[in-house]
Amino acid sequence: MLPSLVNINENSERCSLFSYVLLMFALFLTACDSKQSAPQQVTFSGPMMGTEYRVTIIKQPPIEDAGQQNDQLEKAILSAMNSVNQSMSNYIDDSELSRFNRLPANQWQEISPDFSRVISEAIDISSLSRGAFDVTLAKAIDAWGFGPDGEITQRPNAGDLALLRATVGVDKLEHKDHSLMKTVDGVEVSLSAIAKGYAVDKVALALEELGIENYLVNIGGELRASGKSADNQSWRVGIEKPHILGGIQEIAKLNNVAIATSGDYRNYLVVDGQQFSHTIDSSTLMPVFHKLALVSVISPRTSTADALATAMMAMDEKRAWQFAVDNDLAAYLIIRGDIEGEYIVQKTKKFEAYLQ
């Protein structure tokens, strides 16, 4: 064939040109087909629930009306998060939660199905953790400057905390069907340690109802992954180094599970030069003070992982580890060592299965 290309006559030139056009057209079609057959990654992000959300979606071809579909997806995501926020926020004056907190004792309040599910799970995890997880700590959280009233300049004294003791304990809540009641005046609920996780689950459900199978939902560090990422692999999520903000300790590979993390190195308060953790010990009503720096938990539901991570963070390192083992949890603990800057990692076998 090469000699004929050297000695070109008019016909062969036309034939070669026609072949060239066909070749270019075939390459164009191949490129278009390759582009159409490649998965498309779409990301939605912004402020929500006092933090940031980021939802990454992988759409498989054929992809039609992408703009319209993206608008529909964004509306579904925002609607899911807003519904949880409007129901369970302590910062919204007319939320279901705020209205319940103002209610006197022995008066039932009808609550939404979402609120009912979250309260039910919160009570179950409180029982499982022997009170380490307690949603009735709202007033103690406020007293230490971690609630809607903002930071404090003076730490609460023993007398202040003794008065709050009478309003703490999930045994002071009664829940049935879609109704909730407090049995003691002054009981207030905070769902900050479970509501974001539930919002992640609510977004995931909204995406699945729209036919999305591959996604990663992240609200304030509580994440749920489904299907595959853009490179057709399991979603890879970093576990942060507590002493280096933004540093990665290890990477977990997630598929159809959720992960939540609780730690004392991001959200804390300094009063009179002393640093206080935002996690409150339900037995003392004081911020926890132990060597446990971080807990990550993997679970099918984000709300469960969120609450369990908080429960373990409220325990000391020995109790938290034993709790994880006894309940067969996928748990990852980072513990401060005796030497400054030293950190010890403990992870259950169930968690190890998710590590790279």
pLDDT along the chain (356 residues), means of 10: 33 38 40 60 96 94 76 97 97 97 98 98 98 96 82 80 93 96 97 97 98 96 96 92 74 96 64 61 85 93 97 94 98 90 92 91
Nearest Cα neighbor of 61 from 50, 51, 69 is 69
3-class secondary-structure state, position 117 = helix
Query: Considering only CA atoms, which of 320, 336, 323, 146 is closest in space to residue 241?
Result: 336
Give the pLDDT of residue 17: 36
User: H helices within the chain, ranges in order?
Assistant: 2-6, 10-37, 66-88, 96-102, 113-128, 138-143, 158-165, 195-209, 302-314, 317-326, 349-352
Residues composing the chain = 356
Helix count (H) and strand count (E) of the chain? Answer: 11, 17
* Cα within 13 Å of Cα(193), Cβ side: 31
What is this structure's pTM?
A: 0.85
Q: How far is CA 307 from the centre of its chain?
A: 11
pLDDT of residue 243: 63
The answer to whether 144 touches 155, Cβ cutoff 8 Å, is yes
Instruction: Count CA atoms closer than 13 A to 85's CA, side-chain side.
Output: 17
Neighbours of 8 (CB within 10 A): 12
**Peptide bond before 62: cis, by omega within 30 degrees of 0?**
yes
Instruction: Give residue 23's pLDDT.
Output: 38
Buried b (16+ CB within 10 A) or exposed e, 155-179: bbeeeebeebeebbbbebbebeeee
- Between CA 95 and CA 309, with CA 77 as vertex, the angle to 5 degrees is 70
**Distance of alpha carbon 337 from alpha carbon 68, whole angstroms:** 53
Q: What pLDDT does 234 receive?
A: 96
CA 279/CA 294 separation, integer angstroms: 11
Q: What tokens does 302 get?
A: 């984000």
